[in-house]
Chain A
Amino acid sequence: MKSSVIVFPGSNCDRDIAVALEKMQFKNQMIWHKETKLPKSDLIVLPGGFSYGDYLRSGAIAGKSLIIDEVIKAANDGCLILGICNGFQILTETGLLKGTLLRNKNLKFINKDIHIKVTNNETKFSNKYTKDQILKINIAHNEGNFFTDNNHLQELNKDNLVAFKYCNKNGIIDEKSNPNGSLNNIAGIYNSKRNILGMMPHPERMVDKLISNTDGVNLFSSLLN
């Protein structure tokens, strides 16, 4: 499977995701944001980081970069798109995903391992997980507080487009287990065609037992499935 990781000035998880993809046997290429052509890819990843120093709004400037037109075209042709953390913010700024990510409710940058629940295991990104499986995964963000309008929230619930929800280690989804104030504890969402996933947690940091755990591995093996 061929993947492309888009690199913006200020991306800082681009190498981590590349290492994870290569470990999982993806043929990966790094694509600088000034490129105007994308190599043929089965998966495009917008990595985490602080593209353009989070100027204006997180992801706003990257969302207007040269390569983004190609990403939008590929997305409309059905290419799989994964946006992690800042990548999720960029996806909402391009309009590929609806909603937005506000400043964390407690105004703090949060970097810690939390738990999320797999709320939909029937997509290209999640088919190797079991439904309601609880993953321990790292988050590291200042603007991860998911917000959207009522119509979109209804659509997310009705069409099963919520990918992950924040929960505690026993799987309880409540305000206490919500690290950043996200609406309904939402940690990740799909578009209506389910070829685009945006998520705040970092699966690429959870692919090696030696430094963390392997709870992120199945996201990548789902894609290969």
Chain B
Amino acid sequence: MKFSITVTLKKDVLDPQGKVVQNTLTNIGLNLKNIRQGKYFEIEIDEKDQAIAEKNIDEMCKKLLVNLIIEDYKINKL
């Protein structure tokens, strides 16, 4: 079973990289309102039961992939 995980900075956390990308997009004439930069993972696991698989992926996020102080995450089945 394959899942994707999107990790983004929480709303209140400053995202300097996103800001620079935003400024650059504006400078080259592309209009946008806001941008937030994040991380993306694809994880494949050997598990047939989706509920168990999602629980395992969630544990991976909480234990290593995500810093819960500053980041939010979303898990999607692919």
- CA distance in complex: A100, B14 (Å): 13
Max chain A Cβ within 10 angstroms of own Cβ: one of B16, B17, B63, B65: B16
CA distance A148 to B12 in the complex (A): 11
User: A194 to chain B: which residues have CB within 8 Å?
Assistant: none
Comparing A7-15, A102-110, A114-122, the segment that makes contact with chain B is: A102-110
By secondary structure, the B interface counts as helix
Interface size on A, residues (CB 8 A): 18
Main secondary structure, interface of A, reads loop
B64 within 8 Å of A (CB atoms): yes
User: Which residue on B lies nearest to A60, using beta carbons?
Assistant: B64
**Total interface residues on B, using CB and 8 Å?**
11
Most buried by B among A64, A104, A106, A147: A147
B64 touches A100 (CB 8 A): no
Taking the complex as formed, is B56 at the interface, i.e. its CB lies under 8 A from any CB of chain A?
no
B78 in the interface (beta carbon within 8 A): no
User: Given the complex, which residues of B lie within 8 Å of A147, measured CB to CB?
Assistant: 13, 69-70
B13, A64: Cβ atoms under 8 Å?
A: no
**How near does chain B come to A121, taking the closest CB pair, in angstroms?**
28
B69 CB contacts on chain A under 8 angstroms: 98-100, 147-149
Contacts of A103 in B (CB 8 A): 16-17
Contact B64 A56 (CB under 8 A): yes
Bound CA span A56–B69, Å: 15
**Once bound together, how far apart are the Cα atoms of A179 and B13, in whole Å?**
18
User: In the assembled complex, which residues on chain B have CB atoms less than 8 Å from the CB atom of A106?
Assistant: 16
Decide if A216 is an interface residue (CB 8 Å cutoff).
no
Residues from chain B with Cβ under 8 Å of A128 in the complex: none
A100-B69, A106-B16 known, 16 other contacts, Cβ within 8 Å: A60-B64, A60-B67, A64-B63, A64-B64, A93-B67, A98-B69, A99-B69, A102-B14, A103-B16, A103-B17, A105-B16, A107-B17, A147-B13, A147-B69, A148-B69, A181-B14
